[in-house]
Amino acid sequence: MTDLRAHLIRRITAGGPISVAEYMAECLTHPDMGYYATRDPLGTAGDFITAPEISQMFGELIGLSLAQSWLDQGAPSPFVLAEAGPGRGTLMADILRATRSVPGFHDGLDLHLIEISEPLKAIQQNTIGRDDITWHDSVASLPDLPLFLIANEFFDALPIRQFQRDGDGWRERQIGVQEGMLTFGLAGPVVPGGLDHRLDDTKPGDLVEFCAAGQHAAQQIGQRIADHGGAALIVDYGDWRSLGDTFQALENHAAVDPLTRPGVADLTAHVDFETLANATPSRFSRLTPQGVFLERLGITARAQALAKNLSGEALQNHIAAHRRLTHSAEMGTLFKVLAFYPDGAAPPPGLDP
Ligand code: SAH
């Protein structure tokens, strides 16, 4: 038995069942035993692989979209370039390289990373290789300056609560202990704030998810953009409005039961983009499939340019990577992009108002 499972069983036995959000928070961010506290989860040797780890093209195009947005807003300086959940730092390194030729961009930028994982902070420092990085535990402490922010696969890691429709009300899905095992159950009827609108599109028995931490982060990011200018690109799997159970666990690139490997498997849920859009005081773009977004930014031309210097297996891998990022049977449709931007500005390139 992992120490974290023993800890959870003790906690639930003493205090009663916990919400899915409390379980996720313990499993992912417990300071000693949590998933992100104890490992580098990314890449082929880890549990999952992300777009910037698949190809440099992803970060290059994100960087150019953010830099164009910065130019369109009059090249404010100084400004904050930030990433929420930077993983190994690959995406930020690609953004910084791709924007080197944008006049003034590197002179004005102040680099801020939102990260809770100590092992990943060390890898980020190494990958990015700058001595002026400021780390934050949450977006709430970002400075009050124009903010250009990327969050790729950040919001899916934030704890969600799950509610099952029961008549005209809701019962929260909880995690309890039965015969020494962690099990799912349902709490008594509750009236959760923020779910009234879901009585319109659900029927009894349906399950909906709500991410308060995501709502709060979106509000904090959007407030800075509304007040000082900037843009945020939020890329993740999910949809405008989620329906059904999307709580999932991954270990070694395979799905596992979310209750059997606490602290060892990665836990995520699909992102409910409507919640983020409703939370931001700024404008927000139309929710756009990742494949469409990258094609609009010219990924095919970039892929062809890079292919010129490749042959054999490297070329085959490069072609597969392009397909993986954009094709609708791979990441192209499941992953979506939502941007925040201020009044009076255009959305970042690749997205519609
Ligand atoms: N954006 C990267 C990594 C995605 S993995 C990429 O595309 O490769 C999720 C990242 O978010 C990791 O860096 C993880 O440590 C971080 N993270 C997860 N939960 C967090 C939280 N509550 N606060 C801050 N960072 C978090």
Residue 174, SS3? strand
Q: Are the CB atoms for 268 and 211 separated by under 8 Å?
A: no
Cα–Cα separations (whole angstroms), residue 302 to 53, 62, 145, 297: 17, 13, 32, 9
**Beta carbons within 10 angstroms of residue 40's beta carbon:** 16
Does pLDDT of 195 surpass 90?
no
The predicted pLDDT at position 11 comes to 97
Whether this model's pTM surpasses 0.85: yes
Q: pLDDT tens digit string along 103-150?
A: 999 999 999 999 999 999 999 999 999 999 999 999 999 999 999 999
Write the residue with the smallest CA distance to atom 15 of ligand 1. 117
At 242, the pLDDT band (50, 70, 90 cuts) reads confident
Tell which wins on pLDDT, 41 or 159. 159
Measured in residues, the chain has a length of 353
Write the residue with the smallest CA distance to atom 25 of ligand 1. 115
Mean pLDDT for 60-73 is 98
Indicate whether residue 120 lines ligand 1 (CB < 6 A): yes
Name the residue of 154, 235, 268, 324 whose CB sits within 8 Å of the most ligand 1 atoms, as the mutation to test its pocket: 154
The predicted pLDDT at position 170 comes to 95
The predicted pLDDT at position 203 comes to 96
Domains of the chain in start order, with CATH, are 35-159+210-341 (3.40.50.12710)
Give dist(CA 4, CA 83) in Å, integer.
Answer: 29
Gap from CA of 85 to ligand 1 centroid (Å): 3
Q: pLDDT tens digit string along 264-289?
A: 999 999 999 999 999 999 999 999 99
Q: pLDDT tens digit string along 16-38?
A: 999 999 999 999 999 999 999 88
- Counting from 1 in the atom list of ligand 1, the atom nearest the Cα of 213 is 22
Q: pLDDT tens digit string along 332-351?
A: 999 999 999 999 999 999 99
Indicate whether residue 250 lines ligand 1 (CB < 6 A): no
Cα–Cα separations (whole angstroms), residue 134 to 94, 139, 216: 18, 12, 21
DSSP single-letter state for residue 142: S
Gap from CA of 277 to ligand 1 centroid (Å): 20
